[in-house]
Structure 1
Amino acid sequence: MCFSTVKTTEVLGNIQMLNAHISDEVRSFLKGFIERILEEEFKLYIGRDRYQRRKPKEIRIYRNGYRVRYYLTIWSQVLKLKVPRSRSSNFKPLLFRKGGMTSEQLDHMMIQMWSEGSSYRDIINIVNRIYGQNFSLAKLNSMIRALHEYVEQYHNKPIEKAYDCIYIDGLELTIKEFPRKTFVDLKTKKAKNAVMLGVLGQRKEKNKIIREMIDYELCQQEDSTNYIRLLERLKRRGLTVDKFRLAVHDGHMAITKAIKTVYNKENVIQQECLIHHMRNVINKIQNRTNKDQLKNDLWKVYSAVSEKEFLKLHKKTFQKWYDLEKEAMEQFGKLNSRMFSKYQFNVEIHKDIHSNNPIERYFREIRRRTKAIGIFESLSSADRLLFLTIENINQRRGSIPTNSNLVFTH
């Protein structure tokens, strides 16, 4: 192609125009070059040139026009290629088996970007600017909706692994489909109108500790009915009492009631989170100058290595602080047997089972990744989007993928 002197000066004076021109020329060359390679490979595949005829007995494969495939190279944006198609067999060019990114791989990459915390608009802007694809919110939404079968597999796959313990807790969300909280609720509670009830399992694989979200339930409130629904589904899937040794939770009576209802004839050991008990006491402190010293004394009690030591330190601390912080000590004096369950286990694992911190850390991961969403449009969309986030975190922590077609890279 030849440019006049005027045209050359004009192009050189505008770097963006020059870059665009070079990019267009490279794309045009690569498109023609690759399509020529595909045509030659297809000739070898069917054993004859285009329009060449054979005797009926020799004919095995017929041409059937072309199909469009997208291909990403390091030299250009996504190329839209015409790939020869056969009528009676599945022609798979070597080009799409290795060395490039197909449209399916690009879709998978966008799904992973979302699961790691990128917003819809961030993903679309990146794809449009770097890869030259014209993606819209509607197209990305349709891709997410197509993952429904994976969500169903996750909620229903059999539980075969045994867990050292499970952690149970709830994470507040906002889902537009659910009714908004009333003015009275807003005066006493947070504005979020939904909750994700989760069960996190901890197991050991060789020398590695794996903590994975086994299942979750989306509902309007954290009550025993919804916890029962979640635990009954887990029990049907295989989470029987012989598959876990201990259930750790924050002491919410709805969880205690649900465990007794679902596993009523079996002795499920429960451990209440001692960190929650400690916070409840600290919140009752009247004189803030006492906070640091009292907090240290409380921690010595709750981190005791035996039940005998716990009760001894508890009595000592209670007597020391009762006159100074009566309201806090009344809260501190509320003991129950579920606070001492950890002493049935080896002291080396007390730090893992005396609090609900593992599932709270998991919830922080979910919050960080779903922050870009803010408000979920519907229950089904929240289910799909939370599944993607949880599946990504689970795989990163060493879990087996729910489906071999949805494997995240880390």
Structure 2
Amino acid sequence: MTQLQFNLDIDVLKESVMNSNIEVVVKSAIVLVLNEFMEKERDEFLHVGTYERSDERRDYRNGYYERELTMSIGKLKLKVPRTRNGEFSTSVFEKYARCDQALVISMLEMVINGVSTRKVTNIVEQLCGENISKSFVSSLTQKLDPIVNDWAKRPLNTSYYPYLFVDAMYIKVREHHRVVSKAVYIATAITEKNKREILGLSVDHTENYESWSRFFQQLKSRGLQSPKLVISDAHQGLQKAIQREFIGTAWQRCNVHFKRNVIGKIPKKDSAEIRTMIKRIFEAVTIEDIRQFKDELMTRFGDETKYEKALAILDEGFEDTIQYMNYPEKVRCHIRSTNSLERLNQEVRRREKVVRVFPNTQSAFRLVGAVLMQYQESAYSVRKSLSK
């Protein structure tokens, strides 16, 4: 861009300094600079200065019009030069539009990071001296829709995901003037290159077989191939959906949830021995040992009625909970539970608590999707790489 040389009206600037506070001084100085800059831009466009005559003249001056420019210090009212044929256009607004964009992006980041719309309006007012309504902040967040939608619909056929993790969490959404509970379905995976990735999400009604089937069908429509193993909790509708949608895929019941279910049925008094033996089962390094330790526990405590419920749970869900032992040892600790997905859910919950009740389903999808995208770019890309 051509470098323009110009002089400022120092008397006007001096008056601003003497009679105003520092905020007004800064604004006045910037207004003077930008107005003078635009004036010189028009002279350059016309190829002639004020009151000059030249055969190279391209057009004639045609006064000014006022236009506001929002910057980090607030709104500035500028005098924008015009020409008769209207071909002249200043570069000021294009150049400084990035300030507006930075402000909008900052506001969106605050919302995604769990700052309420009310707090966002207060922060913007303190920074810019401008009143921003809650409805304005809410409308800005809609700019995330195409970004989140594109991410949620991206193709999944470029990689194979041998290990799939799925879980659901509940949120409150306003619907038909009522506050209802809805389920947020989230799927993550481990690639063949041992990288964690968030595959997608869906917001649906109550957690059941039909809703889980729809979620899996959505993932398959984007190119997801049947994984080797799906890791989840023991929700019956979820288990049925996995069996139907992923033929030939094994199911791993979350090891952590399973142990809690078993131990929860054990009396606290005089139970140190059985607790130790349960711990030994799931610390075994071979599938032969893990089965042997389980048989020893069943033989040792099988006749004690106080452990009847706990042993029934252990026996019924045991094989589904040790499926991870059929896979390479280096990956077992990562696929035996849904702990990684639980941590992701906690991050979503931390942001969701600020909202409390979403105004509609789309707003819930928007915020959760934005949080997942942010988490994918930061935590998963940097810290969640699995050691080979």
TM-score w.r.t. structure 1 length? 0.77
Verify the 8 A CA contact 2:253 2:321 in the aligned structure 1.
yes
Matches within 5 A, 1:93-172: 93=92, 96=95, 102-159=99-156, 160-172=158-170
Matches within 5 A, 1:42-121: 42-44=42-44, 47-49=47-49, 58=58, 65=65, 67-72=67-72, 77-82=73-78, 84=80, 87-88=86-87, 91-93=90-92, 96=95, 102-121=99-118
1:184 — aligned with what?
A: none
Distance 1:291 1:90 in 2: 82
- Corresponding pairs, count: 360
Q: What is the one-letter code of the residue matched to 1:255?
A: L
Distance 1:179 1:237 in 2: 34
Distance 1:314 1:245 in 2: 25
Counterpart check, 1:202 vs 2:190: yes
Q: What is the one-letter code of the residue matched to 1:225?
A: E
1:331 — aligned with what?
A: 313
Counterpart check, 1:213 vs 2:194: no
Name the SS of the counterpart of 1:168 in structure 2. Answer: strand
Note the C-alpha offset of 1:365: 0.6
Distance 1:56 1:44 in 2: 11
2:261 to 277, 280, 287: 280
Distance 2:162 2:79 in 1: 53
Distance 1:19 1:349 in 2: 71
Matches within 5 A, 1:184-333: 193-203=181-191, 210-241=195-226, 244-264=227-247, 267-285=248-266, 287-290=267-270, 294-322=274-302, 323=304, 324-333=306-315
Name the SS of the counterpart of 1:135 in structure 2. Answer: coil
Distance 1:51 1:246 in 2: 81
Q: What is the one-letter code of the residue matched to 2:298?
A: F
Name the SS of the counterpart of 2:184 in structure 1. Answer: strand
1:9 — aligned with what?
A: none
Quick one: structure 1 residues 385 and 88, their matched pair in 2 at CA, closer, same or farther if it must change by over 3 Å?
A: farther
Note the C-alpha offset of 1:90: 6.5
TM-score w.r.t. structure 2 length? 0.81
Note the C-alpha offset of 1:351: 0.7
Note the C-alpha offset of 1:138: 0.9
2:40 — aligned with what?
A: 40
Quick one: structure 1 residues 89 and 365, their matched pair in 2 at CA, closer, same or farther if it must change by over 3 Å?
A: farther
Distance 2:176 2:281 in 1: 43
Q: Give aligned-pair identity as a percent.
A: 20
Verify the 8 A CA contact 1:46 1:62 in the aligned structure 2.
no
- The unaligned stretches of length 5 or more in structure 1 are 1-17, 182-191, 401-410
2:327 — aligned with what?
A: 345
Quick one: structure 1 residues 110 and 83, their matched pair in 2 at CA, closer, same or farther if it must change by over 3 Å?
A: farther
Name the SS of the counterpart of 1:342 in structure 2. Answer: helix
Distance 2:61 2:249 in 1: 64
Q: What is the one-letter code of the residue matched to 1:92?
A: S
Quick one: structure 1 residues 52 and 173, their matched pair in 2 at CA, closer, same or farther if it must change by over 3 Å?
A: farther
Verify the 8 A CA contact 2:168 2:185 in the aligned structure 1.
yes
Verify the 8 A CA contact 2:48 2:57 in the aligned structure 1.
no
Note the C-alpha offset of 1:79: 4.0
Verify the 8 A CA contact 1:196 1:219 in the aligned structure 2.
yes
Verify the 8 A CA contact 2:69 2:93 in the aligned structure 1.
no
Distance 1:120 1:63 in 2: 41
1:358 — aligned with what?
A: 340
1:382 to 336, 339, 364: 364
Distance 2:154 2:330 in 1: 32
Distance 1:28 1:304 in 2: 74
